[in-house]
Structure 1
Amino acid sequence: MIPDRHAWSRPELETVAPGVHRLPLPLPSDALRAVNVYLLAPEGADGELTLVDGGWAIDASREVLARLLGELGLGVGDVRRFLVTHVHRDHYSQAVALRREHGARVALGAGERESLARIQGPERGMAAQVDLLDRAGATTLAAEVRSWLARAEAPPAEGFADPDEWLVDGQQLSAGGRSLVVRETPGHTRGHLVFVDETTADATMLFAGDHVLPHITPSIGFEPAARPGALTRFLSSLAALRAEPDRRLLPAHGPVAESVHARVDELVAHHDQRLDEVAAAVAAGLPTAAEVAGALRWTRRGFRLDELETFNRMLAVLETDAHLEVLAAQGRVQRAAEPDGEGVDVVRHAAA
């Protein structure tokens, strides 16, 4: 029988280690299916309950969270602290909602300040990503995304209130009876964090958020305060984890895995291959990120760009642009704004 690769997303409690429980919470019409939040619960009666990540603030998620906590004899109001890996809605918004109801404290990486400010301001949304689509030569897709956004109901911004605490790299935390160390891992977002469990020397774990995922490659730099260099930051963050001792991988999407190093190696190999594919497309004469993206295959199923949904086409073009940025820094391609003033970045092989 072929294993069900989505079995991890069933709303069932999994005890990962003594006092550490994985709680998969549903997402709304999302291909990711679920987000894992991890309960850190001291084995004795003393100590506060902590959740690593909070889930998406929707009724279905709240109901599953309450049911799974109930299996441990706990209630939603018993959670007193949230350690959130990054500012995306499926990780942050329910933590903020439960703080409002029960007074729990919420902590987030200091690198998310600018994005969080923009989300709460008048320019919240994906304006930066749509502008990048225009620069990448995907003007038709940019217009489609703008139309899609105009038709969509804007999600409420209150799920993005400021945290109670801003976390920084190297900070040591005591959470749910465990010893954690904060590691900044920018790339997926600039302020993304992972939490290293150093409670015992021989059984360390990594609460990895979206930085290292077992089944998919994380999107790069998808945030309101987008800046150049996201893929470079992501690869550097992977290298930093690879240089540390190997740990058990506790991801936000997907099953628990035994080796962070093994998956990091796969992610690095994927991006090395993608860089070569993008460079080859440029050498063949494709002049923009949009056209290069159209020549590539996407997802493990090998879809063409035009076979993807609007949102995923946007991610594909933006990821291609991020690879072109790295190739330009390596001197393998050249790129510059189009001389006719249209604002499209054109690329050519460095030897041309």
Structure 2
Amino acid sequence: MTSTSTAKAISPDSGTHWTEPGTWPVAPGVHRIPLPLPMDGLRAINVYAIETDDGLTLIDGGWAIEVSRTLLEKSLRDIGRDVREITRFLVTHVHRDHYTQAVTVRREFGSHVSLGLGDKPTLDLIHAVDRDAEDPHIAMFLAAGAPAIAREWGEFTRDSTPDLTMWDYPDTWLESDLQLSVGDRTIDAVHTPGHTQGHYVFADRPAGLLFAGDHVLPTITPSIGFEPALAEQPLGDFMASLTKVRGLPDLTLLPAHGPVAPSSHARVDELLAHHEVRLDLCVAAIGDGSRSAYDVASVLPWTRHEHKLADLDVFNAALATLETRAHLELLVARGSLTRGDDDGVVLYGA
């Protein structure tokens, strides 16, 4: 579900497409800086620079690639600042487009990096990487009844050994909900598991701003259930976290992907409604039978264009299969479906 096509979304702070390079002021002392992403349909990530008397605090860091670093440096120069002035990164979650550039900048200039403790299991798995070990997602695909995706995923990831220099541990683990001082601002760090177990949003209530990371996106829904260290109820966590953010004041939405939006409440309501519709579609897809997550995903529509699963590339088909699994597991927890096993494949029934 989308409210506006991400490909055509204009951001009100820039008056142009949200990915347009620049240093766009979203509030006094706060700037949105879109940085490019490689091999990603989203095309860019928004990082946010907060000016303080002691330097710059960045919400998220970007992907550690040369073109991103070059544009970050240029964007900061445009407001008379320098990458050396970044004293702190508040990273919303551990995904590489948010985390890795924070780590590489820290290595050069000693910036302080904070990350949610719930993402530590993912970093632990990255650091314990065994070149001969099977990617943990493959077992998930097999259990979801998707052996073809498991095979293609194994081929897709066979030669992808992580560069550990980009995946060092943070200086500080964020735990529970807490308040942080950023210059003369007091920012609420709110734990919002779902997209990842360690995801955080950062709310500047006096300024009316919500730095939402990938938790609340204005034109798309974040992937759910796609982590190497998988949560028991990722969709349940996500929807509970949305409800938690709905309990904050209605704030200007500053997302990691997409344009600035005027109402966090309006978008949270849309996201919650979207997932209830998807849950109903899952129940209807099962009917009176017994189906795997892959079976259900194969009959559901995907993206705003309502593509079939068979029309998606291996990466997006993998996301779709595990997101369907997350919906089915929540339905089991609600008592709407049963869960069984057929020779290692999990089957769901009415």
Which band: TM-score by shorter chain? over 0.9
Residue of structure 2 in register with 1:241 after alignment: 245
Residue of structure 2 in register with 1:325 after alignment: 329
Structure 1 residue 112, shift from structure 2 partner: 1.4
Query: What is the root-mean-square deviation of aligned Cα atoms in Å?
Result: 1.7
Residue of structure 2 in register with 1:37 after alignment: 47
Structure 1 residue 166, shift from structure 2 partner: 1.1
Residue of structure 2 in register with 1:133 after alignment: 141
Residue of structure 1 in register with 2:151 after alignment: 143
Counterpart Cα distance in 2 of 1:230 and 1:292: 18
Structure 1 residue 284, shift from structure 2 partner: 5.2
Structure 1 residue 303, shift from structure 2 partner: 0.6
Secondary structure at the aligned position of 2:211 is classed as strand
Structure 1 residue 233, shift from structure 2 partner: 0.4
Gaps of 5+ in 1: none
Query: What amino acid is aligned across from residue 149 of structure 2 in structure 1?
Result: L
Give the number of aligned pairs. 338
Query: What amino acid is aligned across from residue 138 of structure 1 in structure 2?
Result: A
Structure 1 residue 279, shift from structure 2 partner: 0.3
Residue of structure 2 in register with 1:265 after alignment: 269
Q: Does 1:164 align with 2:171?
A: yes
Query: What amino acid is aligned across from residue 34 of structure 2 in structure 1?
Result: P
Cα shift readout 1:108-142 (whole Å, capped 9, x = no counterpart): 11111211111111259982322111001001111
Structure 1 residue 101, shift from structure 2 partner: 0.7
| Regions of 4+ moved over 3 Å | 123-126
Query: What amino acid is aligned across from residue 55 of structure 2 in structure 1?
Result: E
Query: What amino acid is aligned across from residue 310 of structure 1 in structure 2?
Result: V
Counterpart Cα distance in 2 of 1:136 and 1:153: 23
Counterpart Cα distance in 1 of 2:46 and 2:101: 13
Distance change in 2, residues 1:251/1:123 (3 Å): farther
Structure 1 residue 78, shift from structure 2 partner: 1.1
Residue number among 11, 14, 38 corresponding to 2:21 in the alignment: 11
Q: What is the identity percentage for the equivalent residue pairs of Structure 1 and Structure 2?
A: 49
Counterpart Cα distance in 1 of 2:162 and 2:246: 37
**TM-score normalized by the length of structure 1:** 0.92
CA contact (8 A) 1:195 1:206 kept: yes
Residue of structure 2 in register with 1:89 after alignment: 96
Structure 1 residue 4, shift from structure 2 partner: 2.7
Structure 1 residue 105, shift from structure 2 partner: 0.8
Structure 1 residue 176, shift from structure 2 partner: 4.0
Query: What amino acid is aligned across from residue 184 of structure 1 in structure 2?
Result: H
Counterpart Cα distance in 2 of 1:34 and 1:284: 43
Q: Which moved more, 1:166-175 or 1:104-113?
A: 166-175
Structure 1 residue 178, shift from structure 2 partner: 2.0
1:1-352 map, 5 Å: 4-5=8-9, 7-42=17-52, 46-123=53-130, 127-150=135-158, 152-198=159-205, 200=206, 203-283=207-287, 285=289, 287-338=291-342, 342-349=343-350
Gaps of 5+ in 2: 11-16
Structure 1 residue 170, shift from structure 2 partner: 2.5
Cα shift readout 1:211-244 (whole Å, capped 9, x = no counterpart): 0000110111322211221100000000111122
Query: What amino acid is aligned across from residue 215 of structure 2 in structure 1?
Result: H
Q: Which moved more, 1:57-66 or 1:281-290?
A: 281-290
Counterpart Cα distance in 1 of 2:302 and 2:117: 33
Query: What amino acid is aligned across from residue 123 of structure 2 in structure 1?
Result: L
CA contact (8 A) 2:225 2:325 kept: no
CA contact (8 A) 1:40 1:178 kept: no
Secondary structure at the aligned position of 1:35 is classed as strand
Counterpart Cα distance in 1 of 2:231 and 2:176: 20
Secondary structure at the aligned position of 1:179 is classed as strand
Query: What amino acid is aligned across from residue 82 of structure 2 in structure 1?
Result: G
Counterpart Cα distance in 1 of 2:134 and 2:217: 23
Distance change in 2, residues 1:320/1:188 (3 Å): same
Counterpart Cα distance in 2 of 1:138 and 1:193: 32
Counterpart Cα distance in 2 of 1:135 and 1:323: 15
**TM-score normalized by the length of structure 2:** 0.93
Secondary structure at the aligned position of 1:266 is classed as helix
Structure 1 residue 13, shift from structure 2 partner: 1.6
Distance change in 2, residues 1:16/1:126 (3 Å): farther
Query: What amino acid is aligned across from residue 302 of structure 2 in structure 1?
Result: W
Cα shift readout 1:28-85 (whole Å, capped 9, x = no counterpart): 121111011000003xxx2231000000000010011011001011111111110000
Counterpart Cα distance in 2 of 1:155 and 1:64: 24
Secondary structure at the aligned position of 1:267 is classed as helix
Counterpart Cα distance in 2 of 1:39 and 1:288: 45
Residue of structure 1 in register with 2:14 after alignment: none
Query: What amino acid is aligned across from residue 13 of structure 1 in structure 2?
Result: T
Greater RCO (CA < 8 Å, at least 6 residues apart)? 2
